[in-house]
Amino acid sequence: MTNSVIKMVQAIEANYGMNPNNWPENDTRLKALHKRFSDPTRNVEREYKSNQLYKGQQPHREQKLRKAQRLLDTTNLPKYKIADQVGYNKDYFSALCTDGYLDDSKWYISRKHLHNYEYYCDDKLIAEGTINQIAMKLGKSPSSIRGCTLSSYKKYKHEHTYRLVKIR
């Protein structure tokens, strides 16, 4: 997607020169770029007539963005559920995050597996740390470390039984 935007801008520059002041406003490529990268919080089409503003009241779209940001910062919900709670389409919500209108850095930190675990083999502690640290210590992949928590692993007998216990 980024390459197509760069190619489009290069084609516009080839046609009209490097100075954006010389570019015509009715060019369909410029309209498409403007529509893609315009500020969604100021999009007039998203404002409904039924949302009358009273003195001191925030506009509806800003309330939705603030609520979405608060949910991203404080909950561990998947993004599609946050988008549903706020009232956004999941693709539009994702675009808000990628375009920088919503900061999802705290959400990513809480969603990453930064928890500490203890990894046991037959009730003997082998390693402890995050899943990635345990995997590096044992020379296994993180998915094989997580595999011992699956119900399909637990329903069969094994020569050595592995357990992964969350400690924090």
Per-residue confidence (pLDDT) for residue 75, from 0 to 100: 84
Mean pLDDT of 111-132: 84
CA-to-CA dists, residue 25 to 15, 16, 21, angstroms: 13, 12, 9
Among 106, 18, 37, 45, residue whose Cα is nearest residue 70: 106
Q: Which helix (H) or strand (E) holds 163?
A: strand 162-166
Q: Which helix (H) or strand (E) holds 140?
A: none
CB 164 within 8 A of CB 145: yes
Per-residue confidence (pLDDT) for residue 39, from 0 to 100: 58
Per-residue confidence (pLDDT) for residue 17, from 0 to 100: 83
pLDDT band at residue 57 using 50, 70 and 90 as cut-offs: low
Q: DSSP 3-state assignment of 38?
A: coil
Per-residue confidence (pLDDT) for residue 2, from 0 to 100: 57
pLDDT band at residue 121 using 50, 70 and 90 as cut-offs: very high
* End-to-end Cα separation, the chain, in angstroms: 40
Q: Is the pLDDT of residue 108 over 80?
A: no
The rounded distance, in Å, linking the Cα atoms of 98 and 40 is 12
Q: Is the pLDDT of residue 125 over 90?
A: yes
Mean pLDDT of 82-90: 89
Q: Is the pLDDT of residue 45 over 50?
A: no
- Strongest mean pLDDT among 16-25, 29-38, 105-114, 124-133: 124-133
| CA angle (149, 112, 87) in 5-degree steps | 110
Per-residue confidence (pLDDT) for residue 127, from 0 to 100: 92
Mean pLDDT of 141-165: 89
Q: What is the rounded average pLDDT for all residues in the chain?
A: 79
